[in-house]
Amino acid sequence: MGFSPRDVDAMSLWEFNAAMDGFAKANGAKQDAEAPSYQEHLDMVKKLGGS
């Protein structure tokens, strides 16, 4: 990410995590898929023949 060890030491965990997320997003990291809602889950189960 280009930070020196001193820069990292000066950051809070929140700041480092935000920088890491931004760096990953800017460089094409895959985003996590969102879980279906409860109703979407029930619809999928019904579609697949579940109870």
Per residue in 1-51, pLDDT (tens digit) is 999 999 999 999 999 999 999 999 999 888 788 999 999 999 999 999 876
Question: Count of domains in the chain?
Answer: 1
Calpha distance 11→31 (Å, rounded)? 24
Structural domain boundaries, residue 14: 5-47
Handedness of CA 11, 17, 20, 21 (dihedral sign): negative
Calpha distance 48→17 (Å, rounded)? 39
What pLDDT, on a 0 to 100 scale, did the predictor assign at position 51? 63
Q: Are 3 and 19 in contact, with CB atoms under 8 Å apart?
A: yes
33: region left, alpha or beta (phi > 0 left; psi from -120 to 50 alpha): beta
